Amino acid sequence: MKRKIYRIAEGKNKKIKFIVDHSFDLEVIFQGKNSSAEIVGLVMPKPHTNIIIRTKQIHNYPQSKSNLLIRSVISEGSCVTYEGTIRIEKHARYVDAYQKNETMLLSDTSQIHTSPILEILNHDVKCTHGATVKPISETELLYLQSRGISRLQARKMIVRGFIDGIIKNNLYD
């Protein structure tokens, strides 16, 4: 499994971006007051593969901030397991940490297992998480088809719209 570790120093900001089709482990460690990171990722496994994505946002200092958004597009026969941890140490007051995992399933045989883990040792913080899982909406497909777009092209447009949310987050900077 490929692993990346980022250490964010006091007062520093980091934008972390990734696109993966394989298992991946990402750890972001906040090593100073007023450090922050924006983490955006796109996960697109190849058909009929199983991958594990792990993220850790570790806040060791007060007033650090993290914002994580991962979008997954899972094709036929593939399975993604996402384990996302936010850890806030006891002495790390006024931390603001967020984690969101959004998944689009492209077939009945695609799967996601998502597991948010919050380890909050100081309660004077703001820490939230969320996860959404959705197939391609039949209503959206029918709407686009009623406008003269083929079913295949409509599927591609819906997936592209989902992916563009990450790309427009300057993933390719």
Beta-carbon neighbour count of residue 53 at 10 Å?
A: 24
Question: How many angstroms separate the CA atoms of 46 and 26, rounded?
Answer: 20
pLDDT for position 172: 45
Res 119 pLDDT > 90 = yes
pTM score above 0.85: yes
What one-character-per-residue DSSP string does 6-52 give? Answer: EEE-TT-EEEEEEEESS-EEEEEEE-STT-EEEEEEEE-PPTT-EEE
> What percentage of residues in the chain have a pLDDT greater than 70?
97
DSSP run (H or E) holding 105: strand 96-105
Question: How many angstroms separate the CA atoms of 128 and 20, rounded?
Answer: 24
pLDDT-based confidence at residue 173 (cuts at 50, 70, 90): very low
pLDDT for position 167: 77
pLDDT-based confidence at residue 1 (cuts at 50, 70, 90): confident
Q: What is the mean pLDDT of residues 26-32?
A: 98
Res 78 pLDDT > 80 = yes
Res 147 pLDDT > 70 = yes
pLDDT for position 165: 78
Res 74 pLDDT > 50 = yes
> What percentage of residues in the chain have a pLDDT greater than 90?
93
pLDDT tens-digit series, residues 84-111: 999 999 999 999 999 999 999 999 999 9
pLDDT for position 169: 64
